[in-house]
Amino acid sequence: MDEYSEIVKERIKTIQEIRELGCEPYSSEPFEVSHTAGPVVDEWKEASEEALQATAREYRLAGRIVGLRNFGKAAFAHLQDSTGKIQIFFQKDQLGEGFKLVKKLNVGDIIGIRGTLFRTKTNELTVSVASFRLLTKSIRPLPEKWHGLSDIETRYRQRYVDLIVNPGVRETFKLRTQIVRSIRHFLDSKGFIEVETPMMQSVPGGATAKPFKTHHNALGIDLFLRIAPELYLKRLLVGGFERVYEINRNFRNEGISTRHNPEFTMVEFYMAYADYRVMMDFIQNLLVTVVTENTGSLQVNLGDGKIDFTPPWPRLRMMDALREEGIPEDALGGLEAAKAWGTAKGMDMSNVHSLGKALDEIFSEIIEPRLVQPTFVIDHPVELSPLAKRKRDEPHLVERFELFIDGREIANAFSELNDPFDQKARFESQLRDREQGDEEAHLMDEDFLRALEYGMPPAAGAGIGVDRLVMLLTASPSIRDVILFPQLKPEA
RNA sequence: GAGCCGCUAGCUCAGCUGGUAGAGCAUCGCCCUUUUAAGGCGGGUGUCCUGGGUUCGACCCCCAGGCGGCUCACCA
C-alpha cells in the first residue's frame, strides 16, 4: 500500500472512535435486506405523502453512502446499492444514542438501515432511518462528486472505484452480460449445446496469430494459451455433437490497442449439415435478435452515425469489390502485379508472400473502412483460409464470409473443410509459409487430421467477437471500456 | 515498435518570462433537525511521475527513463 494520506489517517482514527462507541467497523453479522433502492423508488415515485404514511411499511436496505449532508442533529445521505440510489434521513430524535455513530460516517461507508418512507419538503422520496448499522468502514476517499473519476488510467486500474462512481460504466457491463445471455439463449433455443474445450493446447491452432507460451511442470511440456477453440469444436462435430458452441476467452500475443486486448471473448459455433450461405442467414437472424433484445431497436446510435441492422444485409464478393475499385485483372490474378498496385497506393507490401494476402491487404486498406452498415464480404482467396472448404466451381476461393459493421470485422464464418486430404495439403502449405518466416501460419495438427479421417459431417462454423459486438451496442470507442479489467502494464 | 499529447493535494484542475505551489470538492474543528454541489466560520494538506543536467535558484529549460491516452504498424 502506498503512503497514507492525511485523509486516510483521519479515517483510521475514526475507526478507533467507532470501536469506542461499541460498533464493529468491519461487521461480520449478516444484515437481512428486505428491499433494494431502485425498485423502491420506482414503486413509490408517484405516491403522495399520505399514501406513504398509510402503508407504514418497514424497509431494510443496505448499500454505500455516496452523498452526505450533515446538520447538527440530523443528516441526509444517499444510499447506493446495485439497483440504484435512495435518499435516507437520520434524526437525533429518532436515533438517540445511535446518532453518535452518524457523526462518524463518511461518504464511501457501507451501512444497513431500517426505516419507513416519507417525502421531504422538496418532495424527494426518502427513508427515515429508525436504526442502522455500520457494515463496512471505508478509509479511502471517493472521487469528488462533481467531476467524479475521469482519469482514464485510474478508471482501468481501479475499476472498482470507476464502478462505484460512474453509473454509465455499471450500465455498460450489465449490458455486456445481457448481450452474452441473449447469444447463449438464441443458440440454446436452436438446439446448440454449450461446451468447454482446452484453453491450454500443445498445438495452438484455429487462427493465424501468435500464441502465449506457458509450461506445465509435472508433464514437463510447453503449452500454449489457445488462439481459438475451432479445432476442438470440430472434433466434437466428429464426435456427433451436431450443434455446439463455446463462449470463452482467446489469447493472442499481439499489440494492444483500442480494438485489441490480449485476452478477448469469442463465441464460436458449429452447425452440422449447413453451409456458409445457411450460416449467413443464421448469423443475420442471431444478431437481429440480440440487437433488438438489448437495444430495443434495429437502429443503433454510434457516436457520429447510426447503424441500421434491418435485414437483409448486402453480400459483397471480395473479388467483385476489388474489381469495382478499379484493380486491374492482372493484379487480381498475380502476386507481383497485386503487390505493385498496392505499393503504388502507398501500402506496405513487403511482408506479403501470396496473392491472397496481397488482395486481403488491399481490401482491408481501402474497402473495409467504408463498410459501415452491416455487410457480408464473401468468397475469400483460399490461401487466407486454410480451414475453409473450397468453392465448388472456383477452387481458388473458399466458401467463407466476414461480417463487417462500422468498418470492423464482427463475425467470420465458413463452410468447414472436412476433406482430410485437402486439409493435410493446406496444413503443409501453411508449414511452407512458416518456413518462409510467417510466424502466424498454422501448425500441423496430426490429431485433428486423424479426427477428420473418421469423418466430420459437412458443417458451417462461425465466430463472433463478443467484445467488439458489445462496443458496437454500447457505443464504446475503446475495447477497454467493455472489458472490466483490461490489460495494462504494471504500475511503476 | 514509431509519432504526438498528458502526468501538480484523495478527486477535478490552475500555476505567467525560471524566483521555491494554489482553487473547488473531500478532510479536520466549531455552529446548524427537511438537505440534495446544503450553508456559515476557522485549520492542515504535496516524492509537482522518476533520475540526471543547466542555473545563484527548476513544477517550468535540457537529457534519459516510467506509466497512460490517441494515431500509425501487427491483428480479431
Q: What is the ipTM of this complex?
A: 0.91
Q: How far is the CA of A370 from the C1' of B61 (A)?
A: 46
Question: What span, in angstroms and rounded, lies between the C-alpha atoms of A160 and A162?
Answer: 5
pLDDT at A146: 86
Q: Which residue's C-alpha is at the least distance from the C1' of B31? A: A72
Strand, helix or coil for residue A287: helix
**Are A10 and A106 in a shared domain?**
yes
DSSP-derived secondary structure letter, A398 = B
Q: How far is the CA of A481 from the C1' of B54 (A)?
A: 44
Beta bridge partners of A244: A193, A270
Question: What span, in angstroms and rounded, lies between the C-alpha atoms of A138 and A145?
Answer: 16
CATH of the domain at A412: 3.30.930.10
pLDDT at A1: 43
pLDDT at A492: 67
Tell me which nucleotides of strand B come within 7 A of a protein CB: 1, 6, 9-13, 24-28, 31-39, 44-47, 49, 66-76
pLDDT at A87: 97
Cell numbers describing residue A316: 459483397
Q: Tens digits of per-residue pLDDT, A333-387?
A: 888 888 888 888 878 887 788 888 889 989 988 899 889 999 999 999 998 899 9
pLDDT at A176: 97
**Are A40 and A184 in a shared domain?**
no
Tell me how many domains chain A contains: 2
Which nucleotide shows the minimum CA-to-C1' distance to residue A5? B10
Cell numbers describing residue A335: 502476386
DSSP-derived secondary structure letter, A475 = T
**Are A209 and A126 in a shared domain?**
no
Tell whether A246 is covered by a domain: yes
Tell whether A345 is covered by a domain: no
Domain range for A240 is 164-314+373-481
Strand, helix or coil for residue A129: strand
What residue ranges of chain A have pLDDT lower than 50? 1
DSSP-derived secondary structure letter, A242 = S
Question: What span, in angstroms and rounded, lies between the C-alpha atoms of A49 and A271?
Answer: 59
Q: Are A261 and A486 in contact (CB under 8 A)?
A: yes
Q: Are A193 and A243 in contact (CB under 8 A)?
A: yes
Q: How far is the CA of A3 from the C1' of B21 (A)?
A: 21
A470: closest CA among A179, A210, A134? A179
Cell numbers describing residue A17: 472512535
- Please identify, among A119, A136, A153, the residue that sits at the C-terminal boundary of a domain: A136
Cell numbers describing residue A381: 482467396
Question: What span, in angstroms and rounded, lies between the C-alpha atoms of A344 and A338?
Answer: 10
Cell 423508488 belongs to A41
Cell numbers describing residue A174: 450489465
Cell 506457458 belongs to A214
Question: What span, in angstroms and rounded, lies between the C-alpha atoms of A67 and A387?
Answer: 57
